[in-house]
Copies of this chain bind each other. A is one copy, B any other.
Amino acid sequence: MTGEGTSRRSFLMRSLALGGAAAFAGTGGSRAAEGGDPAITELKDWNSYLGEGVVARPYGTPSSFEAGVVRRDVPWLTADATSSVSFTPLHDLDGIITPNGLCFERHHAGIAEIPPDEHRLMINGLVDRPLVFTMDDLKRFPRENRVYFLECAANSGMEWRGAQLNGCQFTHGMIHCVMYTGTPLRYLLEEAGVKTAGKWLLAEGADASAMTRSIPMEKALDDCLVAWKMNGEALRPEQGYPVRLVVPGWEGNMWVKWLRRLEVGDQPWEHREETSKYTDLLASGKARKFTWGMEVKSVITNPSPQAPITHGKGRTVVTGLAWSGNGRIDRVDVTLDGGRNWHEARIDGPSLPMALHRFYYDFEWDGSQLLLQSRAVDDRGFVQPTKNELRAARGDNSIYHNNGIQTWLLTADGGLENVEVS
């Protein structure tokens, strides 16, 4: 097995083998007759058929050949689908943008379908001027566009007690990354005039769970957005249409969807979702609360258990995602032998703070069994820990904030499995 700089000879040989009819060099419109490949003879000759026209799909949909690329749930995870989660198919994706139709969703009382013209956002509490905004009002404030990841605090939570789920969609799929458009929350708070005693903000959703979270005023005035668009178009219903809170780098539960109220107070509210839930129970029996930030993390998305290697030995692309609630990713390393030797991966595409980063590691696979891992380092110097390091620090009661290194066992047949290395 050799590294990235390797000659392409082995790959080239395979291409030549496939290219049995490669001497065919007609410039006419007819399809190249690739006699050596039986699948080709079954092909519809598109040169003879007109396809569907432009009016057929005013809002486009994926190819029927991509029908398997969907969000999936884990039916045994929750009692009911209306308080549950679906997972982003990370193993099927590339780049750093998640298409809106595949963004994971987690909601606590189903998807509220709110008419935007009737929706209102209220600011009340310790403010000089309590205010109520229509959606049109919000759109008169200065806007910003930012690409951010949103990760559920419980992402990878089922892995605290060992490798359980066979696929990065399920171990790491409670994350997505889109471009948001909205207005900085501080403009709305300035409009209302926050009183000196106002140190906390309660964000409340309009859905049946009336999701409520306390947010320190410092964060609210820093980089939070009140957003109504994702990837250019309106928020999707399951993402809080018509308006949600964006709390960059912090756990997804705080990004309150169907946002209807912001109350300014002098202390946190200690509501259910920040006491009974979304706290970290330590071995001592004490629980850490207000552990908002999502720490530096990464995962290899391909190859992975849902995306085995089918091409046999030779040149292989390993790719994955890295992110940190602290800022940008500075470096990602990949190991093929469970952590003995690390190789620096190539980070490609825009590097934006608190956004997904895409990494690649290209190598020649010799067909042997490997233990694949990735390890990210963020621009504040934080290094992604092992799962055992996390367990040593926090015990094994935890559900949330598992940013440990993930291991995939690659076997000689190209299949992969979720395993732990000690």
Contact = CB atoms under 8 A, between A and B. Distances in A.
Contacts of A80: 53
Interface residues of A, number: 143
A49 B242 CA distance: 18
A409 B197 CA distance: 48
A18 B229 contact: no
A140 B316 contact: yes
Interface string A237-267: 1100110000000000000001011010000
Task: Give the copy number.
Answer: 2
Given A52-B111, A53-B84, A125-B25, A99 B231 contact: yes
A54 B81 contact: yes
A120 interface: yes
A225 to B, nearest CB: 12
Contact of A260 (B32, B81, B136): B32
Nearest to A115: B65
A133 B349 contact: no
Interface stretch (A143-151, A153-161, A388-396, A399-407): A143-151
Interface of A: 8, 11-12, 14-16, 18-25, 27, 29, 31-32, 34, 37, 39-40, 42-43, 46-66, 69-73, 80-82, 84-86, 92-103, 105-107, 109-118, 120, 122, 124-125, 129-134, 136-137, 139-147, 178-181, 191, 202, 206-208, 210, 229, 231-238, 241-242, 258, 260-261, 263, 269, 310-311, 314-317, 319, 346, 348-350, 352, 358, 360, 362
Given A51-B111, A53-B110, A144-B349, 15 more contacts: A8-B191, A15-B133, A21-B132, A27-B269, A54-B106, A56-B81, A57-B238, A65-B113, A65-B242, A69-B233, A93-B229, A94-B229, A96-B232, A97-B179, A99-B100
